[in-house]
Amino acid sequence: MAAAYQHVDITPEASDFLELLRELGHLDDAAVDAITSSLMSSAAPRVQVDLSEARRACALWLTDQAERLRPEARELLYAEWPRLFF
């Protein structure tokens, strides 16, 4: 049986936030794809994923990945965390 796909939009603000994290070096393409897939699968059909949902998903993903980061990357992430997530 084929998977049923739903249409979910990501608001421009949420998309910009993902791009900002990529530009800052906190996310790579694979991470953005994983986070986007997670957002799409957890969103209600025909609902927009907003900035707060994107922030929450990114914070969870980064928290899960923090121990795998190089020490200098982890230190930079922790330094920027308050400006990104609060």
User: pLDDT by residue (tens digit) across 25-38?
Assistant: 999 999 999 998 88
Does 16 have pLDDT greater than 70? yes
Q: Determine contact, residues 55/65, Cβ cutoff 8 Å.
A: no
Residue 79 forms part of a structural domain: yes
Does 56 have pLDDT greater than 60? yes
Residue 77 forms part of a structural domain: yes
Q: What does pLDDT average to over the chain?
A: 88
pTM to 2 decimals? 0.83
Cα–Cα distance, 81 to 75 (Å, whole number): 10
Strands (E), the chain: 9-10, 48-49
Does 6 have pLDDT greater than 70? no
User: What's the domain range around 63?
Assistant: 9-85
Residue 59 forms part of a structural domain: yes
Residue 4 forms part of a structural domain: no
Number of domains the chain is built from: 1
Residue 19 forms part of a structural domain: yes
Residue 3 forms part of a structural domain: no
